[in-house]
Amino acid sequence: SAVISQKPSRDICQRGTSLTIQCQVDSQVTMMFWYRQQPGQSLTLIATANQGSEATYESGFVIDKFPISRPNLTFSTLTVSNLSPEDSSIYLCSARAFSGAETQYFGPGTRLLVL
Amino acid sequence: KQEVTQIPAALSVPEGENLVLNCSFTDSAIYNLQWFRQDPGKGLTSLLLIQSSQREQTSGRLNASLDKSSGRSTLYIAASQPGDSATYLCAVQPSSGNTPLVFGKGTRLSVIA
């Protein structure tokens, strides 16, 4: 199994600023993903973080707003830029470890409140 | 486009009951199906993963079944406990490799002591 940690666990930010979330996996994984979960909703995929290249974004999400880095097989960052109250959500890092079953694991989430 | 539906959206049962959560998907060509648990304000915990070639998986009081041809999966929880209270999410992986999971909206379970 893979254990995923995220920093920060929560933050309160002012409108117009940016927040960078770090995701660390305790083992090398094939794929890393970033999700958003708005209050009372299910998960929405933001992007797939690709090692050493640009992330693959889902419809409705753009690199200028959600820049993502993945410099190696165990670490990724998501930045949420130019924050607005609508960005208040839980942001979840996820990783898929090829263990023969391709189980997907999730971090504990980062709870963001934008004032 | 694959869509995943979970019924019911919410469920409240007394402690000790056996219960079934349902998940359906529109495209039967899946690689695997995974059940997750999410506690309020927390991340997701993987409960069970069923490969497309499998019919069921068991872990403790949990049993997940898969009927690919009919596009259905069930999560059976035996002898429910208040600690089982959480949101249960079903997700399918459409194919191997780079494809992201497709999630249902979840079933919010409350087990009353």
Total Cβ atoms within 10 A of residue A43: 25
Q: Is the Cβ of A57 closer than 8 Å to some Cβ of chain B?
A: no
Rg of chain B, C-alpha, whole Å:
14
pLDDT in tens, B23-55: 999 999 999 999 999 998 888 999 999 999 999
Query: Which of chain A's residues have a Cβ under 8 Å away from the Cβ of B45?
Result: 106
Shortest CA gap A4–chain B (Å): 10
Would you state the pLDDT for residue A107? 95
Identity of the residue numbered B107: T
Residues 6+ apart with CB under 8 A from A96: A29, A30, A31, A32, A33, A102, A103, A104, A105
Q: Indicate yes or no: CB of A105 within 8 angstroms of CB of B105.
A: no
What CA–CA distance (Å, rounded) separates B100 from A67? Answer: 19
Model confidence over A10-47: pLDDT tens digits? 999 999 999 999 999 998 888 899 999 998 888 999 99
Does A31 reach chain B within 8 Å, measured CB to CB? yes
Q: What pLDDT does residue A99 have?
A: 62
Taking CA–CA distances from A101, the nearest residue in chain B reads B51
Q: What is the mean pLDDT of residues A4-13?
A: 97
Taking the C-alpha atoms of residue A46 and residue A52, their distance in angstroms, rounded to an integer, is: 18
Please tell me whether residue B82 adopts helix, strand or coil conformation.
helix
Is residue A8 over pLDDT 70? yes
B34, B42, B103 member nearest A42 (Cβ): B103
Residues of A in Cβ contact (< 8 Å) with B44: 43, 92, 94, 106
Q: Which residues fall within 8 angstroms of residue B94, CB to CB, at 6 or more apart?
A: B2, B27, B29, B30, B31, B102
**Inter-chain CB proximity A102 and B31 less than 8 Å:** yes
Both structure tokens of A28: 């090398």
Query: Are A42 and B44 an interchain contact pair (Cβ–Cβ within 8 Å)?
Result: no
d(CA A115, CA A13): 6
